Chain A
Amino acid sequence: MSERPIKILIAKPGLDGHDRGAKVLARGLRDEGFEVVYTGLRQTPEMIATAALQEDVDVVGLSILSGAHMTLLPKVTRLLRERGLDDVLVTAGGIIPDDDIPALEEAGIAAVFGPGTTIAEVAAYIRSHVRPPEG
């Protein structure tokens, strides 16, 4: 068996209740042939890090609309690093001002996808930046 789909966690940290975007993305990435773990609304950074570890995902995609990204996203990347998941690709999407992006990249967010990004663009980015599979 050489078929090894890329596994992605789509999570929504924070307290806003808008998960339509995350669901559309999860569905779209499924159609791109990824295995997508969807964990639902109102996830704490701890929940996200635990899910990423137990599921051994290659990618963590964080959707955030609440404005708390400067607090929550660096906390997620720090917890992932603490648990030895430093080779996991972490991306973010939602409403994130351009001015905040450099600081988020500094904190370990590999890419920030703003409104208008297509699923195909996200999929292409993931395929070219994900860690190689283990033998």
Chain B
Amino acid sequence: MSLAATRAEELADAAVAGDRRALARLLTAVENRTPTAEAALRRLYPNTGRAHLVGITGAPGAGKSTLVAALIAEVRAAGRAVAVVAVDPSSPITGGALLGDRVRMQAYASDDGVFIRSMASRGHAGGLAATSTSAATVLDAAGFDLVLLETVGTGQSEVEVAAAADTTVVLEAPEMGDEVQAIKAGLLEVADIVVVNKGDRPGAQRTAAQLRAMLTSTASPRVAAAYPADAAGAGGAPGEGHAGRPRPKQPEVLITTASTGEGVPALLVALDRHRAAGRAGLADAARLARAEAQVWAIVSERLRERFHGAASGQVTESTLRAVAEHRLDPYSAADRLLASITGEPAAG
């Protein structure tokens, strides 16, 4: 057995057995995408899928970390184990990052039922790090009942978390926009639960009422027609289905004041209710979307490695250069590269 495989087995088994140091080291391997991480994930994956993965997203300063801290308190009061993956952005210039989400979550230092891990986004643009889903898989395998994925502060279109999580919570702050903001496409469309946080501020009730009015109105027949039945995702032919696309939702709108805990018990009830509904089959599409995102990411990484490998590195380079110099169009270049690894003649 290779060194990486031995180390992976050691770390994975220790992490599952409750060794927090091993768990932390395994998460580092996952973040660094080492061979050890890959071997460990292969080993752990069959025993995952039990945890409830909840995405928490929203604009910077909306109160995501404070809400996560309040949720931890609520979940611990119920005696359940909870893990947090909190993502903050990496600098596009230096690669450095300031990971500040723990500031609000430090009260649980001596509680073994809480595990908090900060991650830098490392250039990934969708709101999470490229390895956040794998990190959640590891925490799932380690036996955490609830895994909270806190995204970087998001704008309008970082919807990736919806594919990574079973339940997506979108946080809004009062007075962040009018009704038109609520009907724009993007983040709010992927919410399973919308939370208006800072509920003690003026305007919270009005913001919640506006969101309710706009988000729960019936989607158009065209949107509904794109999702004929729950089974379509599972049985549809590739290219016809919408497995990679979130389903239209009718989110619940709640109000919380995370800093005092007000409204947080109701949020946990809503999360559990959404999870129970998911268990009954409604979340199949979400899980399929996650599988698709994960597998395609790996396929694309492997393909890239092959194109840059010893056998085809030179062909790849000259093809890319031809596109850069406008001697070849990008489509023909892609056909040529695919042909170079499959041995089939280029199409067109």
Residue B278 lies at the interface, judged by CB distance under 8 Å to chain A = no
**Residues of B contacting A27 with CB < 8 Å?**
98
How long is the Cα–Cα vector from A123 to B288 in the complex, in angstroms?
Answer: 44
Q: How far is the CB of A60 from chain B (nearest CB, A)?
A: 13
**Residues of A contacting B115 with CB < 8 Å?**
54
Kindly identify, within residues 6 to 54 of chain B, every residue whose CB is under 8 Å from any CB belonging to chain A: 7, 20-21, 24-25, 27-29, 32-36
Residue in B3, B97, B102 with the greatest tally of chain A CB atoms within 10 Å: B102
Kindly identify, within residues 39 to 79 of chain A, every residue whose CB is under 8 Å from any CB belonging to chain B: 39-40, 43-44, 46-47, 49-51, 53-56
Closest residue of A by beta carbon distance from B108? A50
Closest residue of A by beta carbon distance from B32? A4
Chain A interface: which of B88-96, B171-179, B234-242, B309-317? B88-96
Closest residue of A by beta carbon distance from B107? A47
User: Residue-by-residue, is A28-45 near B (CB-CB < 8 Å gives 1, otherwise 0)?
Assistant: 011111111111100110
Quick check: A56 and B95 within 8 Å, CB to CB?
A: no
Q: How far is the CB of A127 from chain B (nearest CB, A)?
A: 13
Quick check: B25 and A56 within 8 Å, CB to CB?
A: yes
**Residues of A contacting B25 with CB < 8 Å?**
56, 134
Quick check: A35 and B99 within 8 Å, CB to CB?
A: yes
Residue B109 lies at the interface, judged by CB distance under 8 Å to chain A = yes
User: Could you say which interface size class chain A belongs to?
Assistant: 35 or more
**Residues of A contacting B94 with CB < 8 Å?**
30-33
Residue B259 lies at the interface, judged by CB distance under 8 Å to chain A = no
**Residues of B contacting A115 with CB < 8 Å?**
none
Q: A56-B24, A83-B21, A134-B25 are known contacts. Are A51 and B98 too (CB-CB below 8 A)? A: no
How long is the Cα–Cα vector from A54 to B96 in the complex, in angstroms?
Answer: 19
Quick check: A51 and B97 within 8 Å, CB to CB?
A: no
Pick from B24, B27, B29, B120: contact of A35, CB under 8 Å: B120
Kindly identify, within residues 92 to 120 of chain B, every residue whose CB is under 8 Å from any CB belonging to chain A: 94-100, 102-103, 106, 109-110, 115-118, 120
Q: A30-B97, A35-B96 are known contacts. Are A51 and B21 too (CB-CB below 8 A)? A: no
CB < 8 Å A-B pair total: 98
Quick check: B99 and A37 within 8 Å, CB to CB?
A: yes
Kindly identify, within residues 65 to 88 of chain B, every residue whose CB is under 8 Å from any CB belonging to chain A: none
Residue A5 lies at the interface, judged by CB distance under 8 Å to chain B = yes
Residue in B4, B28, B115 with the greatest tally of chain A CB atoms within 10 Å: B28
Pick from B4, B20, B90, B109: contact of A135, CB under 8 Å: B4
Quick check: B20 and A56 within 8 Å, CB to CB?
A: no
Residue B122 lies at the interface, judged by CB distance under 8 Å to chain A = yes
How long is the Cα–Cα vector from A49 to B27 in the complex, in angstroms?
Answer: 17
How long is the Cα–Cα vector from A44 to B109 in the complex, in angstroms?
Answer: 9
Quick check: A46 and B109 within 8 Å, CB to CB?
A: yes
Q: A-contacting residues of B (Cβ < 8 Å)?
A: 3-4, 7, 20-21, 24-25, 27-29, 32-36, 90-91, 94-100, 102-103, 106, 109-110, 115-118, 120, 122
Between-chain CB contacts (< 8 Å), 26 pairs: A3-B122, A5-B97, A26-B98, A29-B96, A30-B96, A31-B94, A35-B97, A35-B99, A36-B96, A37-B100, A38-B99, A38-B100, A39-B106, A43-B106, A46-B109, A51-B106, A51-B109, A51-B116, A54-B117, A55-B117, A55-B118, A56-B27, A83-B21, A133-B32, A135-B4, A135-B35
